[in-house]
């Protein structure tokens, strides 16, 4: 089957990373169906799937008519700045529900509705902060760390149907959001940490996501691809 016949279900297509993934797949001839948490967009391919744990286990009726999806990518999520000194159980629970539980519930619903081709390729957008610590990111880091167990468990269990499950782990990307959330000194520190002397780009995340979700991937599963120019593992000192 050629790429022009392929269909991607993309959660979080309105975010910066999601938009880049959307563009990459469309450039390759894929039909992209975007799922958002907010109001449904103007396109018939934009569908709202609420992050409500009492409703997330049911596939929106608007998706059922599109049939089976070749690949699914979860690029949705929420962030939170907190530490044990400011820990608030309700806020922590919400971060975990959005970043972890919602993925499990939507995937379970897709499987029950027989909306995944066999084999399908699944990709979760996590973060390098699932493996290394950053100050004041307690709840966010815990939720991202949980995605390691999620991806490994899915890759193991879903192999019975030939499905491939992986994750991409972006670091600090060269985006307006990064420049607004980090100080100039912090950004320079990240740039100087490797000999690349720059930040990774949105296109790097989109390219890795495309490979993992495309026919080019036939043997990679249970893997975590870091998109950080080596920041996590290869640093200048």
pLDDT tens string 97-150: 999 999 999 999 999 999 999 999 999 999 999 999 999 999 999 999 999 999
Would residue 203 count as lying in a domain?
yes
Would residue 105 count as lying in a domain?
yes
pLDDT at residue 51, as a whole number? 59
The answer to whether the CB of 53 falls within 8 A of the CB of 97 is yes
Residue 232 binned pLDDT confidence (cut-offs 50, 70, 90)? very high
Among 148, 152, 131, 146, CA closest to 232 = 131
Q: d(Cα 102, Cα 222) in Å, to the nearest integer?
A: 19
pLDDT at residue 1, as a whole number? 44
Would residue 235 count as lying in a domain?
no
Would residue 138 count as lying in a domain?
yes
Would residue 69 count as lying in a domain?
yes
The contacts of residue 167 (CB under 8 Å, 6+ apart) are 123, 124, 125, 126, 147, 148, 151, 223, 224, 225
Residue 3 binned pLDDT confidence (cut-offs 50, 70, 90)? very low
Q: d(Cα 23, Cα 30) in Å, to the nearest integer?
A: 10
Mean pLDDT, the chain, rounded, equals: 90
Per-residue pLDDT at 41 exceeds 60:
no
What mean pLDDT do residues 193-208 have? Answer: 96
Please tell me the total count of domains within the chain.
1
Structural domain boundaries enclosing 173: 3-227
What mean pLDDT do residues 72-81 have? Answer: 95
Would residue 180 count as lying in a domain?
yes
pLDDT at residue 42, as a whole number? 44
Helix (H, G, I), strand (E, B) or coil at 82: strand
Residue 87: give its domain's CATH number: 3.40.50.720
Would residue 151 count as lying in a domain?
yes
What mean pLDDT do residues 2-29 have? Answer: 89
Would residue 236 count as lying in a domain?
no
Query: Across the strands, what pairs with 47?
Result: 35
């Amino acid at each position: 089957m050629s790429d022009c016949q392929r269909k991607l279900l993309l959660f979080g297509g309105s975010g910066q990373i999601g938009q880049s993934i959307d563009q990459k797949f469309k450039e390759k001839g894929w039909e992209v169906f975007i799922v958002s948490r907010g109001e449904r967009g103007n396109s018939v391919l934009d569908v709202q799937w609420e992050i409500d744990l009492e409703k997330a286990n049911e596939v929106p009726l608007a998706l059922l008519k599109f049939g089976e999806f070749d690949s699914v990518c979860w690029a949705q999520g929420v962030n939170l700045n907190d530490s044990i000194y400011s820990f608030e159980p309700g806020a922590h629970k919400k971060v975990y529900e959005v970043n972890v539980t919602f993925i499990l519930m939507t995937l379970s619903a897709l499987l029950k509705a027989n909306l995944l081709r066999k084999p399908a390729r699944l990709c979760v957008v996590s973060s390098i902060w699932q493996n290394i610590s950053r100050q004041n990111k307690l709840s966010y880091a815990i939720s991202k760390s949980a995605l390691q167990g999620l991806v490994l468990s899915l890759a193991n269990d879903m192999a019975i149907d030939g499905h491939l499950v992986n994750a991409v782990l972006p670091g600090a990307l060269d985006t307006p959001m990064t420049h607004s959330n980090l100080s100039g000194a912090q950004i320079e520190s990240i740039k100087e940490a490797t000999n690349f002397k720059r930040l990774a780009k949105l296109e790097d995340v989109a390219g890795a996501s495309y490979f993992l979700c495309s026919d080019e991937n036939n043997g990679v599963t249970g893997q975590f691809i870091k998109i950080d120019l080596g920041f996590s593992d290869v640093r200048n000192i």
